[in-house]
Structure 1
């Protein structure tokens, strides 16, 4: 099942997986927990990144694979974790709070992807970019 999902993501427009992507395919399939990998591919933006690489719209580089990591990590540390800690006040994390935090991280990643596709960064983002992202059907978090 994981192999089918990865193959579908890495298959280019010519119907095959490029030789340069085969080591990436093998690395993903070498996981000890296929279900966790499937879950991650389904809920993160990893599937978008892999599809962009396979279609030739993004290069296979560490920068591409890690493109939003530092910004998202900063957002998680300075906003989400601080808010969660303040509201937890020593009690256990409730499923709803964890779900909300994950949804905010996913939405943030989608927004950054939207900006990048428009040739923008957070520093060059304009109101029109935000409006277009909000109106986009791709920015839905279930």
Structure 2
């Protein structure tokens, strides 16, 4: 009688389950106690469910963006060492500064990244399946209102 041996199984961990943690959150296998956290500037949509370990509802902005108003003050928080969310639009830009400018002038742009070989990528919908890695990954620049950008935030 043959015995089957499992060589590989997918998803390999909870972070790899597609969109099982909701939007605007990041999943990390680095922190084993709480694998999901809202991205800075976002909070749980349903705090009661969140405390029970049900993160499916995801996160929402703490402060509304200022886009479209005079001198909006919106800026970006660098979320480093992550995989980039699905469903990006590629935009023609020669460098990260140009990519940032294009995102700032588009009120529906929630985040951008500038990746060697791909160049400028922008996200206008919810950010789903952002996974934090112990090493490697890319930097995702998440758009936040000026009031959410503290001194620890990395702005371009």
Higher-RCO chain (CA-CA 8 Å, sequence separation at least 6): 2
Structure with the larger strand share: 2
Q: Does TM-score exceed 0.5, indicating one fold?
A: no
Q: TM-score, normalised by structure 1?
A: 0.24
